[in-house]
Amino acid sequence: MDSLPAPIDPVPDPWPVRGLVLRTPRLELRPDDDASLRELVALAHRGIHPASEMPFQEPWTAADPRYLGRGMLQHFWSQRATLAPESWGLHLVVRAGDRVIGLQSLTAHRFAVLREVDTGSYLGREFQGRGYGTEMRAGVLAFAFDLLGATIARSGYVEGNTASARVSQRLGYRPDGTRLLPTGGQRVVERRLLLAREDFVRPARPPEVRGYTPELAGLLGAAPPVREWTA
């Protein structure tokens, strides 16, 4: 009788991002997928900030409401399509219970060499003022510093965005200069911030992290996982 062929090794997951989950005491953060993006679009239509203000470098919330959702989807699809070790963005949809409340992004360029990340985030207006902004950014910073191997995190806020400034102050960032931006046809000042790993004001409980696999580490040019990281 002919011998059976040797079993074929399973094909690695071509999109290891999908399995990543971060959990903080009140929140769950997962990479965007099409279903969660629909909920994020609905959140944007309900409002992120007063119409008289523009807290973002890119005034995407000022888009025609008829095209806002399509523009959001195209942005996130383009980010997925270009994700590579040389340049990547993890866009984590944030839930409190079963409700999408905002987005927390973690981005990097040449991370394997520079070991720097940038953060950006927003919350729906009905979820602001509850400490969620600090909690979700602290969660991704702990992930970046303690698992990915980042040494520096950068952020910034448009002058006047006091809520973002307060979150950064609580977590240990220090000023890192300014730059001018042409936001919505107006000249605005962005306050740049820098956080060294040793200055990070850590949350009382570290986040629970699932799905940080060797494949995902390789895709991000990051440190290999040594264990599942749980609270």
Domain segments of the chain as ranges: 17-220
Q: If we measure between CA atoms, which residue out of 20, 28, 67, 18 comes closest to residue 44? A: 67
DSSP tag of 212: -
Q: What is the pLDDT of residues 114-125, one digit of tens each?
A: 999 999 999 999
Predicted structure pTM score? 0.91
List strand residue ranges (DSSP E) for the chain, in order: 21-23, 28-31, 87-96, 99-109, 116-123, 152-158, 174-183, 186-196, 208-210
pLDDT exceeds cutoff 60 at 230: no
Please state which CATH number belongs to domain 17-220.
Answer: 3.40.630.30
Contact criterion met (CB below 8 Å) for 17 and 90: yes
Check residue 229 and give its pLDDT.
54
Q: Round the average pLDDT of the chain to a whole number and report it.
A: 92
Contact criterion met (CB below 8 Å) for 55 and 157: yes
Q: Which two tokens stand for residue 18?
A: 């999908």
Q: What is the pLDDT of residues 210-229, one digit of tens each?
A: 999 999 999 999 989 876 55
Contact criterion met (CB below 8 Å) for 100 and 74: no
pLDDT category at 9 given cuts 50, 70, 90 is low
Q: What is the pLDDT of residues 35-90, one digit of tens each?
A: 999 999 999 999 888 877 777 777 777 889 999 999 999 999 999 999 999 999 99
Q: Which two tokens stand for residue 47?
A: 């409002």
Which sign does the torsion angle of CA 90, 96, 99, 101 carry? negative
Helices and strands (H and E) in the chain: how many: 6, 9
